[in-house]
Amino acid sequence: MAELISLTLPDGSVRQLPRGTTGADVAASIGPGLAKAAIAARVNGELVDLHLPIEADASLALVTPRDEADALELARHDYAHILAEAVQALFPGTQITFGPSTDDGFYYDFAPAPGRGPFTEEDLPAIEAEMRKLIAADKPLRREVWSREALVERWTQQGESFKAEWAAELPDGEPLTIYRSGEDWLDMCRGPHLPSTGKLDPSAFKLTRVSGAYWRGDQANAMLSRIYGTGWLNRKQLDAHMTRLEEAAKRDHRKLGAEMDLFHLQSEAQGSVFWHPNGFILWRQLEAYMRRRLDAAGYEEVKTPQLMDVRQWERSGHWGKYSENMFAVPDEVPSADGEGPVLKGTGDMMALKPMNCPAHILIFKQGIKSYRDLPLKMAEFGCCHRNEPHGALHGIMRVRQFTQDDAHIFCREDQLVAEVKQFCDLLDSVYRDLGFTQYAIKLALRPEKRFGSDAMWDWSEQSLRDAVAATGRNTPEWGWEELPGEGAFYAPKLEFHLTDAIGRTWQVGTIQTDTVLPERLDASYVGEDGARHRPVMLHRAILGTFERFIGILIEHHAGRFPTWLAPVQAVVATIVSDADDFAGTVAAALKAAGIRTDTDLRNEKINLKVREHSLTKAAYMLVVGRREAEEGTVALRNLAGGEQKVMPLAEAVAFLQSDALPPDLRR
């Protein structure tokens, strides 16, 4: 008689079943409907294949397409494998490498057959058609465990040099699993997978683009072709995603930045932004707003050097952890023989700062600090540099030169929870002022490689939990989540993820609880007991960087900013040349009231002027003709939409003054 095991189902019921029972067996025992719908199982919380034998007592939950997160993960994983099988069927001699799922789809990297060039987007329709054939064939997907030797031999025999290399390097003792698609194709994979290809919807995926990628991400290795796709559970989800992509393309900050004449980028300054007058108006308004908010919250603004001795970065720990991302320059003096510069001494190097925190500690250490001086809140709109790879640069979202809305709070341990709570409340108010009403809070916990003791990390992590709990935001409604291993090497951190107007999320603000850096750089204060104590250092930012946040603002608002941020708040446009003089009077009144104003006196139809200034995202247009000039009125039009309203000039000026007031000055 077979040995029995106990399987506990989500409703609390327990079933005694033979050892080796699978999720599929349990689904069939419950009913034919569930047997048909089940696509995987969770055994003791782990997502596994529906046909994986269960060898011991366990909790068991069956997964169906209604479990959307799990179902999407499985589907995208399967789409990647089907993509690889389709490419090899169409293009014999192609080698396969890796093919993971992504947040909205999947990709796979290929080494094209010798003599064939890289894959192009012209290849995608044929590959999609072949993928649909494989889905229609409803090929079973079966897991097998192989020995290392057998797997390396199989890949070598098939000419799969990349797979053979990877299989040979997998850790000893790790089960090497492959998945067969029917009888004629296999790939190395940990799984899990759907029971068969037919569980996928052939209308719910689309191949989107092709790019180059280096084998194992190393530029010294072979260049591969990467094919991207997006995959969903049904056609409705795919259509909604493609609509979001179309909307995202319309909102692309690079496109709108050019149309609105905000900034440009060029190869002579890779990763740095050339801000045009309109763009820098936006920057200055945002900076002025943040400065007012920080002043009101008790921060003191400082300015620190761009270049510091590398030895300072060694003491802080950044050089050992971060040097490959830092720009370092030799600290040189002229040579005695005039032949050229030489280093002042061995190892005399300077580095552009990638962050502001060590410099802020150096300011903190000037003079003796008492417990009565804390908390001390030090802010800096600090320009920093990081040596990001060329391939990682993206518009103004990811750059090499950037300005942080950075600040550090030096406080006592007993002040920490209150300070983090105050920061959370300030951040909430700022985001709402800038048009973001939804964001998630996540706690990034200790990474494997880190400074500091476990006791320190325990205390730091719990303090952040307590602070968020004090705000009432540690709930699912606020997206509260803990992220194991995602903290910085010196501190855990709270991350704030904004949701924009089309549902995308952006990780922006952070606050980190750090006791390591004050120790490494010997920061201290005199306590009430007369002894020296280490302050806790809170690293915090709300916007993150101005460059990236402005890019997010552009895309969130589709370039049509609230009036207080709009580079051009009003355009005075004439219908006839007889109104030119009055248009000058209107523009002068608006400028005197502090309204950023342009004037359009061109001999063009007013509808053309409205259309053109709508595209450049001016906030309002004030239209004047003969009648308006005679009566001292203007026709005020909100270019974001809405009816035109005729009103006296003084009333229009007062309205625009009020509408252009920053939100913090309205309260």
Structure tokens at 550: 């402005």
Q: Look-up: residue for tokens 């205390």?
A: 459
pLDDT at position 85, please?
Answer: 97
- Rounded Cα gap, residues 317 and 357, in angstroms: 12
**Nearest 5°: CA angle at 91, between 88 and 94?**
60
CATH code for 69-247? Answer: 3.30.980.10
Mean per-residue pLDDT, 567-577 = 96
Look at the domain 4-64 and name its fold: Ubiquitin-like (UB roll) (3.10.20)
DSSP states of 516-563: HHHHHTT--EE-TTSSEEPPEEEEEEEEEEHHHHHHHHHHHTTT---T
Q: pLDDT of 231-243, one tens digit each?
A: 999 999 999 999 9
Binding annotation for Zn(2+)? 357, 408, 539
pLDDT at position 74, please?
Answer: 96
- Rounded Cα gap, residues 553 and 283, in angstroms: 11
Q: How confident is the model at residue 346 (pLDDT cuts 50, 70, 90)?
A: very low
Structure tokens at 32: 């034919």
Q: Look-up: residue for tokens 């951190």?
A: 493
- Rounded Cα gap, residues 68 and 76, in angstroms: 12
- Rounded Cα gap, residues 203 and 547, in angstroms: 39
Structure tokens at 46: 């782990």
Specify which residues 378 forms β-bridges with.
300, 408
pLDDT at position 334, please?
Answer: 56
Structure tokens at 573: 């446009």
Contact between 150 and 175 under an 8 Å Cβ cutoff? The reply is no
Average predicted confidence (pLDDT) for the chain: 92
Q: CB under 8 Å to 8, separation ≥6 — which residues? A: 14, 57, 58, 59, 60
Q: CB under 8 Å to 328, separation ≥6 — which residues? A: 310, 349, 350, 351, 352
496 closest CA partner among 484, 479, 513:
479
Specify which residues 188 forms β-bridges with.
178
Look at the domain 563-665 and name its fold: Rossmann fold (3.40.50)
Mean per-residue pLDDT, 439-457 = 90
**pLDDT above 60: residue 347:** no
3-state secondary structure of 106: strand
Q: Could you list the active site residues?
A: 357, 386, 404, 406, 408, 493, 539
- Rounded Cα gap, residues 314 and 348, in angstroms: 12
pLDDT at position 343, please?
Answer: 47
Mean per-residue pLDDT, 584-608 = 96
Q: How confident is the model at residue 637 (pLDDT cuts 50, 70, 90)?
A: very high
Mean per-residue pLDDT, 287-295 = 97
DSSP 53: P
pTM beyond cutoff 0.85 = no
pLDDT at position 348, please?
Answer: 77
Q: pLDDT of 362-388, one tens digit each?
A: 999 999 999 999 999 999 999 999 998
pLDDT at position 390, please?
Answer: 81
Binding annotation? 357, 408, 539
Q: Angle of helix 416-433 relative to helix 454-471, nearest 10 degrees?
A: 50
Residue 193 buriedness (CB in 10 A; 0-12 / 13-18 / 19+): buried
- Rounded Cα gap, residues 348 and 400, in angstroms: 24
Specify which residues 398 forms β-bridges with.
394
Residue ranges matching CATH 3.30.980.10 in the chain? 69-247
Q: Look-up: residue for tokens 């690889």?
A: 84
pLDDT at position 482, please?
Answer: 93
pLDDT at position 349, please?
Answer: 84
Mean per-residue pLDDT, 121-143 = 97
Q: pLDDT of 519-537, one tens digit each?
A: 999 999 999 999 999 999 9
Residue 273 buriedness (CB in 10 A; 0-12 / 13-18 / 19+): buried
Q: pLDDT of 470-507, one tens digit each?
A: 999 999 889 999 999 998 888 899 999 999 999 889 99
**pLDDT above 80: residue 621:** yes
Handedness of CA 640, 645, 650, 651 (dihedral sign): negative
Mean per-residue pLDDT, 344-365 = 84
Type of residue at 450:
R
Mean per-residue pLDDT, 187-191 = 91
pLDDT at position 335, please?
Answer: 56
Residue ranges matching CATH 3.30.930.10 in the chain? 265-306+353-556
Q: Which segments within 292-429 are labelled E, that is strand?
A: 300-301, 307-309, 328-330, 332-334, 341-343, 349-352, 376-385, 401-411
- Rounded Cα gap, residues 604 and 621, in angstroms: 15
pLDDT at position 333, please?
Answer: 57
Structure tokens at 172: 């000893």
First to last CA, the chain: 78
557 closest CA partner among 313, 347, 262, 215:
262
Instruction: Quickly count: other Cβ atoms within 10 Å of residue 471's Cβ.
Output: 16
Segments in 137-234 forming alpha helices (H)? 148-157, 161-169
- Rounded Cα gap, residues 524 and 526, in angstroms: 7
**pLDDT above 90: residue 56:** yes
Look at the domain 265-306+353-556 and name its fold: BirA Bifunctional Protein; domain 2 (3.30.930)
CA gyration radius, the chain: 31
pLDDT at position 345, please?
Answer: 46
Instruction: Quickly count: other Cβ atoms within 10 Å of residue 627's Cβ.
Output: 12
Q: How confident is the model at residue 342 (pLDDT cuts 50, 70, 90)?
A: very low
**pLDDT above 80: residue 174:** no
Residue ranges matching CATH 3.40.50.800 in the chain? 563-665
Residue ranges matching CATH 3.10.20.30 in the chain? 4-64
Mean per-residue pLDDT, 201-205 = 97
Buried b (16+ CB within 10 A) or exposed e, 321-357: bbeeebbeeebeeeeeeeeeeeeeeeeeebbbbbbbb
pLDDT at position 401, please?
Answer: 95
